[in-house]
Chains A and B, each alone.
Chain A
Amino acid sequence: MNQLRDPDVIIAAWLEDGPDDLPAATRRSIVVGMRAVSRRRPGPLPGGIQMPSILRLAVAAALVVALGAITLTVIAPRPAQVGITGPSESASPTAASPTPRLIDPSRTPSPLVGTASTFVHPFTYRLPADAGLVVDGGDPTWYQFRVPIPGTEHWADSIIVRRITGGRADPCSETSPPKPLSGGPDAVIRYLEHIPQLIVTEKPATKISGLTASTATFTPHMKEAACPDLWLWAEEGSFTQNSSWDAIGKITVVDVGGDHVIFMTNSPTVDVSWFATAQEFIDSVKFE
Protein backbone atom coordinates (compact mmCIF):
# COMPACT_ATOMS: atom_id res chain seq x y z
CA MET A 1 0.00 0.00 0.00
CA ASN A 2 1.33 3.38 -0.91
CA GLN A 3 0.29 6.40 1.12
CA LEU A 4 1.21 9.84 -0.20
CA ARG A 5 2.90 12.01 2.40
CA ASP A 6 2.46 15.71 2.94
CA PRO A 7 5.29 17.48 1.06
CA ASP A 8 5.09 20.49 3.35
CA VAL A 9 5.75 18.33 6.41
CA ILE A 10 8.76 16.79 4.69
CA ILE A 11 10.07 20.20 3.62
CA ALA A 12 9.63 21.61 7.12
CA ALA A 13 11.48 18.68 8.67
CA TRP A 14 14.27 18.96 6.13
CA LEU A 15 14.56 22.69 6.72
CA GLU A 16 14.93 22.18 10.46
CA ASP A 17 17.76 19.73 9.97
CA GLY A 18 21.21 21.30 10.15
CA PRO A 19 23.64 23.08 12.44
CA ASP A 20 22.17 25.69 14.75
CA ASP A 21 25.36 26.74 16.53
CA LEU A 22 28.12 29.05 15.40
CA PRO A 23 31.31 27.08 16.01
CA ALA A 24 33.57 28.52 18.70
CA ALA A 25 36.43 28.69 16.19
CA THR A 26 34.40 30.97 13.94
CA ARG A 27 33.54 33.27 16.81
CA ARG A 28 37.21 33.44 17.76
CA SER A 29 38.01 34.31 14.15
CA ILE A 30 35.53 37.15 14.34
CA VAL A 31 37.13 38.48 17.51
CA VAL A 32 40.58 38.27 15.94
CA GLY A 33 39.32 39.84 12.73
CA MET A 34 37.76 42.75 14.62
CA ARG A 35 41.22 43.87 15.70
CA ALA A 36 42.31 44.09 12.08
CA VAL A 37 39.23 46.01 10.94
CA SER A 38 39.35 49.76 11.19
CA ARG A 39 35.94 51.06 12.14
CA ARG A 40 34.16 53.72 10.16
CA ARG A 41 33.13 56.87 11.90
CA PRO A 42 29.55 58.13 11.71
CA GLY A 43 28.72 60.20 8.67
CA PRO A 44 28.22 59.70 4.99
CA LEU A 45 31.88 60.02 4.13
CA PRO A 46 34.23 58.45 6.65
CA GLY A 47 37.47 60.25 7.33
CA GLY A 48 40.74 58.91 6.14
CA ILE A 49 39.55 58.11 2.63
CA GLN A 50 41.51 60.02 0.04
CA MET A 51 39.50 60.53 -3.09
CA PRO A 52 40.81 61.85 -6.37
CA SER A 53 39.77 65.46 -6.92
CA ILE A 54 37.60 64.54 -9.91
CA LEU A 55 35.74 62.02 -7.74
CA ARG A 56 35.33 64.60 -4.98
CA LEU A 57 33.84 66.93 -7.57
CA ALA A 58 31.47 64.22 -8.79
CA VAL A 59 30.37 63.40 -5.25
CA ALA A 60 29.80 67.08 -4.52
CA ALA A 61 27.73 67.44 -7.69
CA ALA A 62 25.71 64.35 -6.81
CA LEU A 63 25.06 65.74 -3.34
CA VAL A 64 23.86 69.04 -4.80
CA VAL A 65 21.50 67.20 -7.17
CA ALA A 66 20.25 64.95 -4.37
CA LEU A 67 19.66 67.92 -2.05
CA GLY A 68 17.80 69.71 -4.83
CA ALA A 69 15.63 66.68 -5.44
CA ILE A 70 14.89 66.35 -1.73
CA THR A 71 14.00 70.03 -1.50
CA LEU A 72 11.65 69.75 -4.46
CA THR A 73 10.09 66.64 -2.98
CA VAL A 74 9.48 68.37 0.32
CA ILE A 75 8.06 71.63 -1.02
CA ALA A 76 6.12 70.28 -3.99
CA PRO A 77 2.40 69.50 -3.44
CA ARG A 78 1.89 65.74 -3.34
CA PRO A 79 -1.00 64.02 -5.07
CA ALA A 80 -2.90 61.31 -3.21
CA GLN A 81 -1.05 58.00 -3.22
CA VAL A 82 -2.40 54.58 -4.00
CA GLY A 83 -1.73 52.06 -1.29
CA ILE A 84 1.77 53.10 -0.39
CA THR A 85 3.57 55.08 2.23
CA GLY A 86 6.66 57.17 1.85
CA PRO A 87 10.15 55.74 1.59
CA SER A 88 11.50 54.24 4.77
CA GLU A 89 14.85 54.99 6.27
CA SER A 90 17.40 52.53 5.02
CA ALA A 91 18.91 50.48 7.79
CA SER A 92 21.89 49.20 5.87
CA PRO A 93 25.01 51.06 4.93
CA THR A 94 25.25 48.79 1.91
CA ALA A 95 21.61 49.00 0.91
CA ALA A 96 21.44 49.71 -2.79
CA SER A 97 17.70 49.74 -3.36
CA PRO A 98 15.71 52.92 -2.82
CA THR A 99 12.51 50.87 -2.85
CA PRO A 100 9.87 52.52 -0.67
CA ARG A 101 8.25 50.55 2.08
CA LEU A 102 5.05 49.03 0.78
CA ILE A 103 1.78 48.36 2.45
CA ASP A 104 0.50 44.87 1.78
CA PRO A 105 -3.02 45.47 0.55
CA SER A 106 -3.85 41.79 0.04
CA ARG A 107 -6.20 41.80 2.98
CA THR A 108 -8.31 44.62 1.59
CA PRO A 109 -9.85 44.94 -1.87
CA SER A 110 -8.54 47.68 -4.11
CA PRO A 111 -10.93 50.18 -5.66
CA LEU A 112 -11.56 49.32 -9.29
CA VAL A 113 -10.57 52.78 -10.46
CA GLY A 114 -7.30 54.24 -9.29
CA THR A 115 -4.31 56.40 -10.02
CA ALA A 116 -0.70 55.34 -9.93
CA SER A 117 0.19 58.77 -8.69
CA THR A 118 3.70 58.03 -7.49
CA PHE A 119 4.79 56.47 -10.76
CA VAL A 120 7.31 58.58 -12.69
CA HIS A 121 4.65 58.99 -15.37
CA PRO A 122 1.40 58.94 -13.37
CA PHE A 123 -1.48 57.05 -14.94
CA THR A 124 -5.07 56.19 -14.19
CA TYR A 125 -6.39 52.67 -14.57
CA ARG A 126 -9.47 50.54 -14.15
CA LEU A 127 -9.14 47.07 -12.65
CA PRO A 128 -11.35 44.56 -14.49
CA ALA A 129 -14.31 43.65 -12.32
CA ASP A 130 -14.14 40.20 -10.69
CA ALA A 131 -10.50 39.74 -11.74
CA GLY A 132 -9.40 39.74 -8.11
CA LEU A 133 -6.58 42.18 -8.81
CA VAL A 134 -5.20 44.22 -5.97
CA VAL A 135 -2.67 47.02 -6.03
CA ASP A 136 0.38 45.38 -4.56
CA GLY A 137 2.20 48.63 -4.10
CA GLY A 138 4.41 50.80 -6.17
CA ASP A 139 7.19 53.29 -6.35
CA PRO A 140 8.31 55.79 -9.00
CA THR A 141 9.60 53.04 -11.29
CA TRP A 142 7.49 50.00 -10.43
CA TYR A 143 3.80 49.26 -9.88
CA GLN A 144 2.42 45.81 -9.22
CA PHE A 145 -1.10 44.55 -9.71
CA ARG A 146 -1.61 40.96 -8.64
CA VAL A 147 -4.20 38.33 -7.87
CA PRO A 148 -3.74 36.90 -4.37
CA ILE A 149 -4.37 33.20 -3.89
CA PRO A 150 -7.16 32.97 -1.30
CA GLY A 151 -6.13 31.62 2.06
CA THR A 152 -2.43 31.88 1.31
CA GLU A 153 0.25 34.52 1.24
CA HIS A 154 0.99 33.76 -2.39
CA TRP A 155 0.03 35.31 -5.67
CA ALA A 156 -1.12 33.97 -8.98
CA ASP A 157 -1.35 36.15 -12.06
CA SER A 158 0.18 39.58 -12.17
CA ILE A 159 0.74 42.73 -14.17
CA ILE A 160 3.87 44.70 -13.42
CA VAL A 161 4.31 48.21 -14.77
CA ARG A 162 7.91 49.43 -14.86
CA ARG A 163 9.90 52.32 -16.16
CA ILE A 164 13.09 50.85 -17.64
CA THR A 165 16.20 52.66 -18.72
CA GLY A 166 17.57 49.86 -20.89
CA GLY A 167 18.44 46.21 -21.17
CA ARG A 168 21.67 44.42 -20.35
CA ALA A 169 24.60 43.56 -22.55
CA ASP A 170 24.48 40.06 -21.09
CA PRO A 171 21.04 39.27 -19.66
CA CYS A 172 22.47 36.14 -18.02
CA SER A 173 24.73 38.23 -15.79
CA GLU A 174 23.59 40.21 -12.81
CA THR A 175 26.68 42.37 -13.10
CA SER A 176 26.38 43.00 -16.81
CA PRO A 177 26.64 46.60 -18.01
CA PRO A 178 23.38 48.12 -19.23
CA LYS A 179 22.45 48.17 -22.89
CA PRO A 180 20.72 51.33 -24.17
CA LEU A 181 17.50 50.64 -26.05
CA SER A 182 16.88 53.62 -28.30
CA GLY A 183 14.48 53.66 -31.24
CA GLY A 184 11.02 53.65 -29.77
CA PRO A 185 9.08 50.82 -28.15
CA ASP A 186 10.11 48.43 -30.91
CA ALA A 187 13.70 48.63 -29.71
CA VAL A 188 12.69 46.79 -26.55
CA ILE A 189 11.02 43.98 -28.51
CA ARG A 190 14.04 43.69 -30.82
CA TYR A 191 16.27 43.45 -27.77
CA LEU A 192 14.16 40.59 -26.39
CA GLU A 193 14.26 38.81 -29.75
CA HIS A 194 18.05 38.69 -29.61
CA ILE A 195 18.16 36.96 -26.23
CA PRO A 196 18.72 33.25 -26.91
CA GLN A 197 16.92 32.25 -23.74
CA LEU A 198 13.65 33.86 -24.87
CA ILE A 199 11.19 32.65 -27.47
CA VAL A 200 9.46 35.76 -28.75
CA THR A 201 6.30 35.45 -30.82
CA GLU A 202 3.18 37.41 -31.76
CA LYS A 203 4.08 41.05 -32.07
CA PRO A 204 0.95 43.02 -32.90
CA ALA A 205 1.16 46.81 -32.59
CA THR A 206 -1.37 48.52 -30.37
CA LYS A 207 -2.04 51.82 -28.63
CA ILE A 208 -2.07 52.76 -24.99
CA SER A 209 -3.45 56.09 -23.94
CA GLY A 210 -3.26 57.15 -27.59
CA LEU A 211 0.45 56.28 -27.79
CA THR A 212 1.84 53.67 -30.16
CA ALA A 213 2.85 50.56 -28.26
CA SER A 214 4.71 47.40 -29.18
CA THR A 215 3.78 44.02 -27.78
CA ALA A 216 5.16 40.51 -27.76
CA THR A 217 4.53 37.13 -26.24
CA PHE A 218 7.59 35.45 -24.85
CA THR A 219 8.71 32.36 -22.99
CA PRO A 220 12.00 31.97 -21.13
CA HIS A 221 13.55 28.61 -21.91
CA MET A 222 16.90 26.80 -21.86
CA LYS A 223 17.68 27.38 -18.21
CA GLU A 224 21.23 26.16 -17.67
CA ALA A 225 24.14 26.54 -15.31
CA ALA A 226 25.63 29.32 -17.39
CA CYS A 227 22.36 31.21 -17.31
CA PRO A 228 20.48 30.40 -14.12
CA ASP A 229 18.52 33.64 -14.20
CA LEU A 230 17.61 36.34 -16.66
CA TRP A 231 18.22 39.96 -15.78
CA LEU A 232 16.34 41.55 -18.63
CA TRP A 233 16.49 45.16 -17.60
CA ALA A 234 19.17 47.61 -16.57
CA GLU A 235 17.34 48.04 -13.28
CA GLU A 236 17.77 45.65 -10.37
CA GLY A 237 15.91 42.38 -10.20
CA SER A 238 15.97 39.15 -12.09
CA PHE A 239 13.00 38.52 -14.33
CA THR A 240 13.03 34.78 -13.70
CA GLN A 241 12.93 35.23 -9.94
CA ASN A 242 9.41 36.52 -10.31
CA SER A 243 8.31 34.40 -13.22
CA SER A 244 8.97 30.76 -13.92
CA TRP A 245 11.08 29.52 -16.75
CA ASP A 246 8.85 28.06 -19.46
CA ALA A 247 5.89 30.21 -18.35
CA ILE A 248 4.29 32.36 -21.03
CA GLY A 249 4.52 36.09 -20.52
CA LYS A 250 3.37 39.11 -22.45
CA ILE A 251 5.03 42.48 -22.69
CA THR A 252 3.62 45.76 -23.87
CA VAL A 253 5.99 48.69 -24.34
CA VAL A 254 5.07 52.32 -24.72
CA ASP A 255 7.28 55.38 -24.68
CA VAL A 256 6.15 58.12 -22.30
CA GLY A 257 8.08 61.34 -21.89
CA GLY A 258 11.15 59.75 -23.45
CA ASP A 259 11.04 56.73 -21.14
CA HIS A 260 10.22 53.12 -21.94
CA VAL A 261 7.28 52.02 -19.82
CA ILE A 262 6.63 48.29 -19.92
CA PHE A 263 3.64 46.21 -18.85
CA MET A 264 4.72 42.67 -18.01
CA THR A 265 1.86 40.18 -17.79
CA ASN A 266 2.63 36.81 -16.27
CA SER A 267 0.51 33.79 -15.62
CA PRO A 268 2.33 31.16 -13.56
CA THR A 269 -0.74 28.98 -13.91
CA VAL A 270 -0.70 29.44 -17.71
CA ASP A 271 -4.27 30.67 -17.61
CA VAL A 272 -4.84 31.95 -21.13
CA SER A 273 -7.98 33.85 -20.14
CA TRP A 274 -5.82 35.88 -17.79
CA PHE A 275 -4.13 37.59 -20.70
CA ALA A 276 -7.47 38.92 -21.93
CA THR A 277 -8.18 40.24 -18.45
CA ALA A 278 -4.74 41.81 -18.29
CA GLN A 279 -5.27 43.40 -21.69
CA GLU A 280 -8.49 44.94 -20.40
CA PHE A 281 -6.46 46.53 -17.63
CA ILE A 282 -3.75 47.75 -20.01
CA ASP A 283 -6.35 49.21 -22.38
CA SER A 284 -7.78 51.22 -19.50
CA VAL A 285 -4.48 52.94 -18.72
CA LYS A 286 -4.37 56.68 -19.36
CA PHE A 287 -1.14 58.55 -18.76
CA GLU A 288 -1.68 61.98 -17.24
Chain B
Amino acid sequence: MQRALVDQAKQGDPEAFDELARQVGDRCMAIAFRILRDADRAQDAVQQAFLLAWRELARLRDPERFEVWLHRLLVNACYEEARQRRRWISRVAPIPDDGPVMADPVVSVDDRDALERAFQRLTPEQRAAFVLHHHAGFPLDVTAEIVGVPVGTVKSRIHAATRGLRAAILADEQIGTEVRTA
Protein backbone atom coordinates (compact mmCIF):
# COMPACT_ATOMS: atom_id res chain seq x y z
CA MET B 1 0.00 0.00 0.00
CA GLN B 2 2.64 2.46 1.12
CA ARG B 3 5.01 1.24 -1.59
CA ALA B 4 2.44 2.09 -4.27
CA LEU B 5 1.89 5.53 -2.77
CA VAL B 6 5.63 6.19 -2.66
CA ASP B 7 5.93 5.16 -6.30
CA GLN B 8 3.09 7.49 -7.27
CA ALA B 9 4.50 10.33 -5.19
CA LYS B 10 7.91 9.79 -6.79
CA GLN B 11 6.23 10.37 -10.13
CA GLY B 12 4.96 13.70 -8.80
CA ASP B 13 1.45 12.80 -7.66
CA PRO B 14 0.66 15.31 -4.88
CA GLU B 15 -2.43 13.39 -3.74
CA ALA B 16 -0.35 10.28 -3.18
CA PHE B 17 2.13 12.29 -1.16
CA ASP B 18 -0.69 13.88 0.82
CA GLU B 19 -1.97 10.40 1.63
CA LEU B 20 1.52 9.40 2.73
CA ALA B 21 1.64 12.44 4.97
CA ARG B 22 -1.71 11.42 6.39
CA GLN B 23 -0.44 7.90 7.11
CA VAL B 24 2.88 8.73 8.72
CA GLY B 25 2.38 12.34 9.82
CA ASP B 26 1.07 11.48 13.27
CA ARG B 27 4.00 9.21 14.00
CA CYS B 28 6.42 11.90 12.81
CA MET B 29 4.73 14.46 15.04
CA ALA B 30 4.94 12.16 18.04
CA ILE B 31 8.66 11.61 17.47
CA ALA B 32 9.46 15.25 16.77
CA PHE B 33 7.60 16.42 19.85
CA ARG B 34 9.46 14.00 22.06
CA ILE B 35 12.82 15.07 20.69
CA LEU B 36 12.09 18.78 20.89
CA ARG B 37 9.58 18.81 23.81
CA ASP B 38 7.73 21.67 22.16
CA ALA B 39 4.64 21.25 19.98
CA ASP B 40 5.20 24.33 17.80
CA ARG B 41 8.78 23.43 17.02
CA ALA B 42 7.79 19.84 16.40
CA GLN B 43 5.20 20.96 13.85
CA ASP B 44 7.82 23.11 12.16
CA ALA B 45 10.23 20.18 12.02
CA VAL B 46 7.59 17.83 10.58
CA GLN B 47 6.59 20.39 7.98
CA GLN B 48 10.20 20.99 7.02
CA ALA B 49 10.86 17.24 6.73
CA PHE B 50 7.82 16.62 4.54
CA LEU B 51 8.55 19.51 2.22
CA LEU B 52 12.14 18.33 1.83
CA ALA B 53 10.85 14.81 1.23
CA TRP B 54 8.52 16.07 -1.48
CA ARG B 55 11.35 17.99 -3.12
CA GLU B 56 13.82 15.11 -3.01
CA LEU B 57 11.54 12.09 -3.33
CA ALA B 58 12.27 11.56 -7.01
CA ARG B 59 15.86 10.81 -6.05
CA LEU B 60 14.99 8.11 -3.52
CA ARG B 61 16.24 5.00 -5.26
CA ASP B 62 14.55 2.35 -3.14
CA PRO B 63 10.90 3.13 -2.28
CA GLU B 64 10.98 0.39 0.37
CA ARG B 65 13.31 2.62 2.36
CA PHE B 66 10.93 5.56 2.36
CA GLU B 67 10.13 5.38 6.05
CA VAL B 68 13.76 5.23 7.20
CA TRP B 69 14.63 8.00 4.77
CA LEU B 70 11.76 10.19 5.93
CA HIS B 71 12.70 9.67 9.56
CA ARG B 72 16.24 10.69 8.78
CA LEU B 73 14.95 13.90 7.23
CA LEU B 74 12.76 14.39 10.29
CA VAL B 75 15.60 13.90 12.75
CA ASN B 76 17.79 16.31 10.77
CA ALA B 77 14.95 18.84 10.87
CA CYS B 78 14.71 18.36 14.63
CA TYR B 79 18.45 18.93 15.00
CA GLU B 80 18.07 22.11 13.01
CA GLU B 81 15.17 23.28 15.15
CA ALA B 82 17.03 22.46 18.35
CA ARG B 83 20.10 24.37 17.27
CA GLN B 84 18.31 27.34 15.82
CA ARG B 85 16.39 27.86 19.01
CA ARG B 86 18.49 26.90 21.95
CA ARG B 87 16.03 28.61 24.24
CA TRP B 88 14.21 25.90 26.09
CA ILE B 89 10.55 26.09 26.87
CA SER B 90 10.03 24.09 30.01
CA ARG B 91 6.89 22.05 29.91
CA VAL B 92 6.02 21.77 33.54
CA ALA B 93 2.41 20.69 33.55
CA PRO B 94 0.27 23.53 34.87
CA ILE B 95 -1.84 22.66 37.86
CA PRO B 96 -5.42 23.81 37.29
CA ASP B 97 -6.61 26.19 39.97
CA ASP B 98 -10.21 25.18 39.67
CA GLY B 99 -11.53 21.78 40.48
CA PRO B 100 -9.75 18.84 42.07
CA VAL B 101 -6.20 18.01 41.09
CA MET B 102 -5.97 14.48 39.71
CA ALA B 103 -2.69 12.99 40.84
CA ASP B 104 -0.82 11.07 38.16
CA PRO B 105 -0.22 7.65 39.67
CA VAL B 106 3.14 7.33 37.94
CA VAL B 107 4.58 10.71 36.96
CA SER B 108 4.29 13.47 39.51
CA VAL B 109 4.68 17.13 38.63
CA ASP B 110 8.09 17.03 40.32
CA ASP B 111 9.09 14.01 38.24
CA ARG B 112 7.98 15.75 35.09
CA ASP B 113 9.88 18.89 35.97
CA ALA B 114 13.02 16.92 36.78
CA LEU B 115 12.77 14.90 33.57
CA GLU B 116 12.20 17.95 31.40
CA ARG B 117 15.24 19.64 32.88
CA ALA B 118 17.34 16.50 32.52
CA PHE B 119 16.20 16.08 28.92
CA GLN B 120 17.17 19.68 28.25
CA ARG B 121 20.72 18.86 29.29
CA LEU B 122 20.98 16.10 26.69
CA THR B 123 22.25 16.83 23.23
CA PRO B 124 19.77 16.69 20.35
CA GLU B 125 21.59 13.59 19.12
CA GLN B 126 21.15 11.81 22.45
CA ARG B 127 17.48 12.81 22.57
CA ALA B 128 16.87 11.56 19.04
CA ALA B 129 18.50 8.18 19.62
CA PHE B 130 16.61 7.75 22.89
CA VAL B 131 13.24 8.67 21.38
CA LEU B 132 13.67 6.66 18.19
CA HIS B 133 14.59 3.54 20.13
CA HIS B 134 12.49 3.78 23.28
CA HIS B 135 9.44 5.65 22.03
CA ALA B 136 9.19 4.86 18.32
CA GLY B 137 10.48 1.34 18.90
CA PHE B 138 13.07 1.27 16.14
CA PRO B 139 15.70 -1.44 16.65
CA LEU B 140 19.22 -0.21 17.30
CA ASP B 141 20.44 -0.91 13.79
CA VAL B 142 17.55 1.00 12.22
CA THR B 143 18.02 3.84 14.70
CA ALA B 144 21.68 3.95 13.70
CA GLU B 145 20.70 4.06 10.06
CA ILE B 146 18.25 6.89 10.68
CA VAL B 147 20.68 9.05 12.62
CA GLY B 148 23.61 8.09 10.40
CA VAL B 149 26.12 6.86 12.97
CA PRO B 150 27.46 3.43 13.95
CA VAL B 151 25.35 1.20 16.20
CA GLY B 152 27.90 1.59 18.97
CA THR B 153 27.49 5.34 18.92
CA VAL B 154 23.71 4.98 19.12
CA LYS B 155 24.10 2.71 22.13
CA SER B 156 26.35 5.26 23.79
CA ARG B 157 23.85 8.04 23.17
CA ILE B 158 20.95 6.02 24.52
CA HIS B 159 23.02 4.99 27.51
CA ALA B 160 23.95 8.59 28.27
CA ALA B 161 20.34 9.71 27.92
CA THR B 162 19.01 6.93 30.12
CA ARG B 163 21.63 7.59 32.74
CA GLY B 164 20.83 11.30 32.80
CA LEU B 165 17.08 10.74 33.10
CA ARG B 166 17.44 8.08 35.79
CA ALA B 167 19.77 10.32 37.75
CA ALA B 168 17.21 13.12 37.59
CA ILE B 169 14.48 10.88 39.01
CA LEU B 170 16.71 9.50 41.75
CA ALA B 171 17.92 12.98 42.71
CA ASP B 172 14.34 14.18 42.82
CA GLU B 173 13.44 11.18 44.96
CA GLN B 174 16.28 11.89 47.36
CA ILE B 175 15.34 15.55 47.72
CA GLY B 176 11.78 14.50 48.47
CA THR B 177 12.97 12.06 51.11
CA GLU B 178 15.17 14.69 52.74
CA VAL B 179 12.32 17.19 52.79
CA ARG B 180 9.99 14.62 54.35
CA THR B 181 12.52 13.60 57.01
CA ALA B 182 13.64 17.13 57.87
Which residues does A use to contact B, with CB under 8 Å?
Answer: 2, 4-5, 7-23, 26-27, 29-31, 33-35, 37-43, 88-89, 91-97, 99, 101-102, 104, 136-137, 139, 142, 144, 146, 153-155, 174, 225, 228-229, 237-238, 240-242, 244, 268
Q: By the criterion CB–CB under 8 Å, are B12 and A39 in contact?
A: yes
In the complex, what residues of A have CB within 8 A of residue B90's CB? none
Q: By the criterion CB–CB under 8 Å, are B21 and A5 in contact?
A: no
Q: Is B155 in the interface zone, CB < 8 Å from A?
A: yes
Q: By the criterion CB–CB under 8 Å, are A2 and B177 in contact?
A: yes
In the complex, what residues of B have CB within 8 A of residue A102's CB? 144, 150-152
Could you tell me the distance between the alpha carbons of A21 and B170 in the complex, rounded to whole angstroms?
32
Instruction: Name A33's contact: one of B47, B107, B140, B165 (CB within 8 Å).
Output: B47
Instruction: Name A19's contact: one of B33, B131, B145 (CB within 8 Å).
Output: B33
Q: By the criterion CB–CB under 8 Å, are A14 and B25 in contact?
A: no
Given the interface pairs A19-B30, A92-B69, A101-B145, the reply to whether A34 lies near B155 with Cβ below 8 Å is no
How many residues of B sit at the interface, in one of the four size bands? 35 or more
Q: What is the chain A residue whose CB lies nearest that of B176? A: A2
- Listed by A's residue number, 20 A-B pairs whose Cβ atoms lie within 8 Å are A2-B176, A7-B166, A7-B170, A10-B169, A22-B21, A22-B28, A30-B25, A31-B14, A31-B18, A34-B14, A34-B18, A39-B55, A42-B58, A91-B145, A92-B69, A99-B148, A104-B141, A154-B155, A154-B162, A155-B155
Q: By the criterion CB–CB under 8 Å, are B173 and A22 in contact?
A: no
Q: Mark B34-61, 1 if CB is under 8 A from A, else 0.
A: 1000010011001100111011111111
Q: By the criterion CB–CB under 8 Å, are B51 and A34 in contact?
A: yes
Q: Is B85 in the interface zone, CB < 8 Å from A?
A: no
Q: Is B65 in the interface zone, CB < 8 Å from A?
A: yes
Smallest beta-carbon distance A98→chain B, Å: 10
Besides A41-B59, A92-B148, A244-B163, 10 more A-B contacts (Cβ < 8 Å) are A2-B180, A10-B169, A22-B29, A30-B50, A39-B12, A39-B57, A93-B59, A99-B150, A104-B141, A137-B152
Q: Is B98 in the interface zone, CB < 8 Å from A?
A: no
Q: By the criterion CB–CB under 8 Å, are B18 and A241 in contact?
A: no
Instruction: Name B173's contact: one of A4, A19, A41 (CB within 8 Å).
Output: A4
Q: By the criterion CB–CB under 8 Å, are B106 and A13 in contact?
A: yes
Q: Is B158 in the interface zone, CB < 8 Å from A?
A: yes
Instruction: Name B111's contact: one of A14, A31, A242, A268 (CB within 8 Å).
Output: A14
Given the interface pairs A99-B150, A142-B150, A225-B86, the reply to whether A22 lies near B123 with Cβ below 8 Å is no
Q: By the criterion CB–CB under 8 Å, are A155 and B47 in contact?
A: no
Which residues does B use to contact A, with CB under 8 Å?
Answer: 12, 14, 17-18, 21-22, 25-26, 28-30, 33-34, 39, 42-43, 46-47, 50-52, 54-62, 65, 68-69, 72-73, 76, 83, 86, 104, 106-107, 111-112, 115, 123, 125-126, 131, 134-135, 140-141, 144-145, 148-153, 155-160, 162-163, 165-166, 169-170, 173, 176-177, 180
In the complex, what residues of B have CB within 8 A of residue A244's CB? 160, 163
Smallest beta-carbon distance A229→chain B, Å: 6
Could you tell me the distance between the alpha carbons of A95 and B52 in the complex, rounded to whole angstroms?
13
Q: By the criterion CB–CB under 8 Å, are B115 and A14 in contact?
A: yes
In the complex, what residues of B have CB within 8 A of residue A10's CB? 106-107, 111, 115, 169
Instruction: Name A18's contact: one of B34, B43, B72, B153 (CB within 8 Å).
Output: B34
Q: What is the chain B residue whose CB lies nearest that of A92? A: B72
Q: By the criterion CB–CB under 8 Å, are A34 and B149 in contact?
A: no
Smallest beta-carbon distance A47→chain B, Å: 12
Smallest beta-carbon distance B115→chain A, Å: 5
Q: By the criterion CB–CB under 8 Å, are B57 and A20 in contact?
A: no
Could you tell me the distance between the alpha carbons of A7 and B174 in the complex, rounded to whole angstroms?
12
Q: By the criterion CB–CB under 8 Å, are B173 and A153 in contact?
A: no
Instruction: Name B55's contact: one of A14, A29, A38 (CB within 8 Å).
Output: A38
Q: What is the chain A residue whose CB lies nearest that of B148? A: A97
Q: By the criterion CB–CB under 8 Å, are A22 and B157 in contact?
A: no
Q: By the criterion CB–CB under 8 Å, are A241 and B65 in contact?
A: no
Smallest beta-carbon distance A27→chain B, Å: 6
In the complex, what residues of B have CB within 8 A of residue A225's CB? 86
Q: Which 4 A/B pairs are nearest by Cβ-Cβ distance?
A: A22-B25, A7-B169, A22-B29, A136-B152
Most buried by B among A20, A38, A43: A20
In the complex, what residues of A have CB within 8 A of residue B14's CB? 31, 34-35
Could you tell me the distance between the alpha carbons of A9 and B108 in the complex, rounded to whole angstroms?
12
In the complex, what residues of A have CB within 8 A of residue B59's CB? 40-43, 93
